Structure 1
Amino acid sequence: MEDHKITSLSTDEDQIEARRIADLCESAYSSFCSSGGGSTLDTHLDNCLQHVADEDANCFVRQVVYGVTRYRRFLDCFLDSFFHHNRGTALRADAVKYRVLTYLAAFRLQELTFPTFRLLLEAQDAQKVLLLLQYLFNGSRLQQTCREDWLQVYDKEFVDGIIAGLLSWQAEVDPLLAKLRAQVYFTQQQEQQQEASSSSSSGRAGSSPARCRKPAPTVPQEFKLSQPCPKPLPQPEPVPPAVKPKPPPKFQPGPTKEQLAIEAARAAHRQAAAARQADPRFQPFKLRVLERPMHSDAVRAELEAELAAELAARPQARPAPPPPTAEVRLNAAAVLREDALYKRKQAAEAAALQKYEAELRDTAAFDRWQAALREADAAQQAERVEQLRSEMSAAAGAAAQAKAELLAAKAATTNAEKAARAAREEERQRAWQQQQEANAQRAAEVAADRAKAKQAQEEALIERRLAAQQVRQQAQEEARQRSEQAAAEAAERRDIIAQLRGLEKAARARNNGLGGASRGKVFDPTAVPEHGINNTMSLAELRVRLEAAKQRQLEEEARARARILEARQAREASLSSKVTQLAAIRRLASAQAQLVKAAAQAQRARTADAVLQRTEANALALSDCIEAKHAAAAAEAARVAAEERRLKFEQMQLAAGESVVEAKRFRELRDGKRRDCEHRQVTSLQQAQIDDINAAKLAAARQHVIGLRQQQHTSLQRQYDKQLASAAQQVSLQSTALLSSKQRAAARRRQQEEAQRTQHATAAYRPFSGGGHTTMQARLQALAAGQEL
């Protein structure tokens, strides 16, 4: 009874704690929504939760508020549909409560586990929770109403995953719904019965005009509406200061003062060294060894020749030894699998042989048909080769013509390039503008990356807190199971004590009824008790039968061991025979593979020789054909040259009188050509000067842009490094605080476990040792006290 009271008290405390945490979540989110965005979410939660001392509760409330804020559109769609279908029973004043519970059920139920979520639900009003669960875990309602609204905001896979996750908890939600329905509808029935009883009593007393009074009329009153707080205006963002690049330092041609000083010092050092070398006191000494005749050059040449001979001799490399053959030890499964594979192949080969024997036929007609087709293919291949040669000769002439056309196209392209320079200049200006826009976009992306880094740190912290919460919940669940097991064992012991007391009372009553005649009766182990029970026997017979049964069991075990040993030996013999057979099959397969490989190599060599011979014959034929064509072309060229010489001689005879006119015309053409060349030269020089000026301007602008980019990159990198260092320091501080909190929680847990172990050791069972002449009453008292007999 006391254990039941303790369990009920602990359950009530858990519900109170769950109700308090749920209220904290609702109040924190409501106050953040009513603040109108005057502060960030982190700052608001720090202000709201500064009085919460429990770190686990603080972390849970923060995670819930973050999640509700993140999935605001998801929850808005659900609550709109929920209030629309429950507009007569659900109150919009409880919208924050429904929002928090819906977020926990849709996104955090897997982490919380259903018992913890059920504890949070049972701490709320049963009627409100019943309305929410009936709508939230209704698959048809979610598919018909909520799914379409969610698909307008989120992806299909995400929405389907959320719906499937909710419906996967249907088996755990149904008992809770039944319990809530019983609570809600039973309460409504009681209220209806009370109203019916009060109305009947008022009807019976209606005969008394003094007690029956007419209710007062309803007086309308104005609503007490409060003025909403004005939303603060957004703070203006400061305009970043304009970048003022510093001009480069002025360059002064000529050596600087430092360079002049260094050059003067060098000249002084050189003069001092020359004077020291000219002084006879500081001349280098001479060795007498150098004056004596020596054969060092011959010795050196001999040593160098020996070294060159040693280096020139290259040792002959021997082939590497073959690798050792490793024996592969197979287990029983591998041996059986390989044996089955070979048996299957043998069966297939036997079936193929049987089919061949049953369907014998002559293949001469097929061989002739195959040979004819191969000859036709070879003729077609030769025809294709000949056609390809003719096409290649025609392509050579086309290539020469294409080359001339390409030169003309290049000349036209050169003229078009000059006209396109202005267009390229405009394109460069547009590219510079686009680069400026890209730089601005890149700066925005860098700022967004900083925000993402902070968000990733927050998510990592949330994950660690969730893992710690899961470990604590698992420890609480194990403690609860241990307490329930201890309570069940205590109840079982109490039942045994009550049964023994009942048996003692029955025996005492029977002894009182029979008197004291049977107290001095001597026990006979060979006597059979006469209690009217079938198959009764004496204690001696029982012992003999037990011995016989044990002997039979030992014999059965020996026979079973013998059977198992025989089966094992037979299996090992079968496996050894199969291993021998497989080794023979492998050796045969290896020999066959080597034969096939040698035949394939010989076939490839024969094929290569045939191809080489055919290629050489084709090359000789092609060479003869080319030489014949060259001879024909030379003869044609000689004929054309003789014809041209004859025509030129005739023209010279005809044009002897027109030589003066032709000379004048030639001089005029030459003068015009010279003037055209001079004009083109002047124009090209001017254009080259303009191009050089534009190239210098473009290079200067490019260098300027590169300098600006480097400055921006350096400043952004410096700011990013500072923020990253501060973020890393915050993360280290948070991790240190989290580790210290975990260590404190672990220490508290160890102290609690040590206290429980001490208490358990103090209240442990103690065996009863009351002597050989202990009475039954003393034994029952010891058993009731929890001592072992």
Structure 2
Amino acid sequence: MAYYGKCVEMVIEQLDKFKPEKDSPEQFLEAASSSLKDLSPQKQAFVLEVLSGCLEYRKLLTIVVDAFYVRDGRLCLWADYNLFRVICYLATFQLEELGFQLFCNIIKSQPPVKVCKFLGFFFNPLNLCSWIKDEWSLIYETAYVEENWLRPLIRWQPEVQELITQLEGVPASQSPLSKTKAKVTEPKEFNLTAPKPRAIPVPEPVPMVAKPRPVPRSTYQLPKEQQQLDIVKRYNRRKAEELLLKANMEELRCAMPRSHWEPPTQDSKKQLQLQVLPRIQKTPKLTFFRPDNIPVKLNTAAILREGALYQRQVEKELQRVDKLVDGAGDFSEFLEWQRKMQAKDLEEQLAAGECRRLQGKLSHEEAILARQNLVQENKHRAEQKKEETAKLMLQCTKRRLQEDRYLKEQVEQAMELQKNVKLAQAKLVKGRRQIVQEMMEESRELLQRSAEAAREEQRQRCELISQLRALETQPTRKGKLVDLTQIPGYGLEGEMSVVELRERLALLKETQQREEEEKRDQIIQGKRTKSQELQNTVEQISLCRAAMGRSAALRWEKKNALATAPGEPSQDERVLELRRRIAERAAERRRQAALLLASAPRPARPKTRAQLEMRRWLELEQSRERRLRARQQGGSASRSARRLEAA
């Protein structure tokens, strides 16, 4: 075994020196043969043959070894990479010529753990018939790979599996035993005194603790006021979302209002009914949950703060009335000026909104023009791309045919060389098999003897350990009685027994409970007086709130009446300029669409994306206009009612 181990080590050493980027296989083999001249002819022939085979089939071996490191050999060292390549080459290409017995000797000369893991991965039928076959077929023909390499490997798989189980039974650290066994030092036990068994300590008495009160259910539940507040918060949030949706719809109205929308003709309506996509459905009306009037419980600070606020407002109102009686001026002129300025600001806001709407429409027209130009450019580029791809495909097919011819010639040359080498190797195999069988029988006998001696020693150790543990687990009993009515007698002042101490503690607790009850009665009386005062202030606050709500509702009705009054159409210069530019872009878009239809008339072809997009935008604007009209009609009546309810 040592003979084959040295040969494999020489092959691995030479493979470590080979660099495929710089060295060529022929020159490297010549240099290796010159460096191995000192060896015997048989050993030199074996090393050169394995080395040349590993270099020739380097691609096939690299595929298997790389997959082994990725899947099962994550914990293996990369320094053993060439060892696995050599084993893979011997198993694939030299197993028939060497014979199984000689192959076993070569495998046993290497570390058993590494070799077993690699052989189990490589000779797995699932791996051989699936991905290994596919990867090797990419390099050589499938029929050749299956006939010459895969079938012999599958045929030798049962014998290799027996070899793996045999190697797994041998410990990793055990090396092959020599014929002359060295003397082993026999240790002797120390003459030590036996330790005394440990005493089991007396368990401490468990103190009796009073049973605690259970946690009340209200700890894990929200109070009723908090639940009612959560309901009101959710309702207010939904209401705010509804108002935000309405505000967004009013901003979208600038995209296509009725006053500036050009109604389609009868012919365009018929064409749209035939060609336009399915119409956009109206969104159903949403229903929101309206809770009942839930009273909100205020804390003491909020009640006192609000009461003081209303009291200050009443005092200010009385002071204003006194000043008017004394002859102070009125604010009617200021209010009139303020109303005019607000109307002017409103007109500016409407003009700005109209400008934003027209700018959006202008950008839409410009986007359609840009899309039409882009379609023409894309058509021209697509035609050029098709011509280029056709030329590249022709070049690729020619190149593949040339590569296939070259690979077939290489395979034929390799097969002729391999047949000549096999005849020379068959002569060496016969002489080596007899030597290997004799060495195998001697090694088996030595392994059996060493295994029996180890089992007997292990059995004796287990018996000694069980006896020692039985001696250590023998129990010892020690006990002591305690009298709670007896005084310890340490000589301290006020010394007493445990029973007397408990009685005194019980009397002390009774006095503390009595004092707590008296304090609790005093606190309850003070709370009742405070609650009565707060109730009076709450009644005054409710009266003030009702009066403020009525005045706020009247103000809101006046403001809503001024806002809903119809205004004159704006004649701003910016608006007129934007309308003129929109008309020019629309005319240019229609002219461009007519040129596109005239240049490529195809009756059976579906409508272009630009036309479908234009029709979709037109129908979307119509649906928005209808929804805005419906909201304007029903919004004026519902807003005043909602504001009154909120007040």
TM-score (structure 2 length as normaliser): 0.29
Greater helix share, structure number? 1
Please give the TM-score of this superposition, normalised by the length of structure 1. 0.24
- Max Rg structure: 1
